[in-house]
Amino acid sequence: MFKRLLVLCVATLVLVGCGSDARITSPRSEKLFTIEGSTVTEQDLFNVMTFNDAGAVILSHAQQVVLDKLVPNDDAFKEAVQKQLEETKEGYGTLWETILNYYGFESDEEYAENVIAPSLQLNKALTNVMTEDFDNMVKDLYVRKAAVLEVSKEDAATALKALDEGTSWADVAKEFVLDNSSYTGTATIYHKDSSTSVIDTTALSYIISAKENGISEAIDIPNNSTSQYIINVIEVDTAAIKDEIIASFATDSTFQTKYISKLLRDNGFKVFDKDLYDAIIADYPDALAN
């Protein structure tokens, strides 16, 4: 039974890659194929798919089909995967084998194939499509590169004076950053839809309204009587930080969803079953080609 279920799942993924004109049909009971004495029908396939989130299964496979097309597994890609593997192993040091075993991988190669390669493939494809669509992507987003530093009210004037006298931003941030604050003066890409879990609305409002590069005065924080923000707006010209914006957006889940949908749509992703169509359109309304 397990073998037959596996066969059905694989067959399901194969079928999803097919299609030309958009249409919605119901699964049929005609025999599709036989293997090892078992007969598989279209109805069998869809019955299996209802065991899990069918829409997610279909999208995952369709995404991989598109990525394989756009980012082939050529020598350059293999070299990039190997380089990333070596860097990952170096980062974990003596813990590497423990990490490998913990996640159930039997070899470096298996880890590279199942973790590193898909990640690099997706990043490359997203980088390419975001580069092509850059002007449209950043339109009306007020993207800025900025750094937010939280300091005590007692230190704010001294910190600003040090900056005026030529002390570097990095040195001021290191000396005056408030203990345990998440606003440590690190340069980050922000935009009007940046999550409030990343930056609060007071700091974000200042950043996206900035028309030129520069350092703010001390900014009061609502409901906080002990500390203030000093904000360094590093760059307001999106063209000057194009590569940094793309690198940031390519790892942002919101932009990933948007541009994975675009990749699927641009490469003719279509679904021919009503239940699957409804499942996919609910979460990825822009993924399906016309």
Is residue 32 included in any domain, yes or no?
yes
- Yes or no: say if 246 and 131 are a contact pair by the CB < 8 Å rule: yes
Looking at the structure, do residues 74 and 215 belong to the same domain, yes or no?
A: no
The pLDDT of residue 271 is 83
Is residue 44 included in any domain, yes or no?
yes
Is pLDDT above 90 for 205? yes
Number of H-type helices and E-type strands within the chain: 14, 7
Is pLDDT above 70 for 33? no
Report which of 21, 20, 41 is spatially closest to residue 31, judged by C-alpha positions.
41
The torsion angle over the Cα atoms of residues 18, 24, 28 and 33, rounded to 10 degrees, is 0
Q: What percent of the chain has pLDDT over 90?
A: 69
Domain that holds residue 44: 2-68+271-283
The C-alpha atoms of residue 290 and residue 286 are separated, in whole angstroms, by: 10
Is pLDDT above 80 for 45? no
Region 125-152 average pLDDT: 98
Looking at the structure, do residues 231 and 94 belong to the same domain, yes or no?
A: no
Looking at the structure, do residues 194 and 58 belong to the same domain, yes or no?
A: no
Is residue 290 included in any domain, yes or no?
no
The C-alpha atoms of residue 269 and residue 290 are separated, in whole angstroms, by: 9
The pLDDT of residue 17 is 40
Contacts of 36 (CB under 8 A, 6+ apart): 3, 7
The torsion angle over the Cα atoms of residues 55, 61, 62 and 68, rounded to 10 degrees, is 160
Looking at the structure, do residues 27 and 97 belong to the same domain, yes or no?
A: no
Pairing of strands 214-215, 224-235: antiparallel
Is pLDDT above 60 for 51? no
Region 157-164 average pLDDT: 98
The pLDDT of residue 249 is 98
Is residue 288 included in any domain, yes or no?
no
The C-alpha atoms of residue 162 and residue 148 are separated, in whole angstroms, by: 16
Looking at the structure, do residues 29 and 45 belong to the same domain, yes or no?
A: yes
Q: Per residue in 64-85, pLDDT tens?
A: 999 999 999 999 999 999 999 9
Looking at the structure, do residues 154 and 225 belong to the same domain, yes or no?
A: yes
Is pLDDT above 70 for 174? yes
3-state class of 219 per DSSP? strand
Q: Which tokens hold the place of 256?
A: 């990933």
Is pLDDT above 80 for 55? no
Q: What is the mean pLDDT of the chain?
A: 86
The pLDDT of residue 224 is 95
Looking at the structure, do residues 170 and 27 belong to the same domain, yes or no?
A: no
Is residue 289 included in any domain, yes or no?
no
Report which of 225, 226, 219 is spatially closest to residue 146, judged by C-alpha positions.
219
The domain that holds 187 is classified in CATH as 3.10.50
| Count of structural domains, the chain | 3
Is pLDDT above 50 for 150? yes
Cα 273 from chain centroid (whole Å): 28
pTM of this structure:
0.80
Looking at the structure, do residues 277 and 257 belong to the same domain, yes or no?
A: no
Q: Which tokens hold the place of 85?
A: 């593997």
Looking at the structure, do residues 54 and 88 belong to the same domain, yes or no?
A: no
- Least confident segment among 11-20, 32-41, 227-236, 251-260: 11-20
Q: Per residue in 231-272, pLDDT tens?
A: 999 999 999 999 999 999 999 999 999 999 999 999 988 888
Looking at the structure, do residues 7 and 62 belong to the same domain, yes or no?
A: yes
Is pLDDT above 80 for 209? yes
The C-alpha atoms of residue 100 and residue 136 are separated, in whole angstroms, by: 41
Looking at the structure, do residues 54 and 39 belong to the same domain, yes or no?
A: yes
Looking at the structure, do residues 83 and 203 belong to the same domain, yes or no?
A: no
Q: Per residue in 99-119, pLDDT tens?
A: 999 999 999 999 999 999 999
- Yes or no: say if 48 and 15 are a contact pair by the CB < 8 Å rule: no
Is residue 101 included in any domain, yes or no?
yes
Region 22-42 average pLDDT: 55
Is residue 125 included in any domain, yes or no?
yes
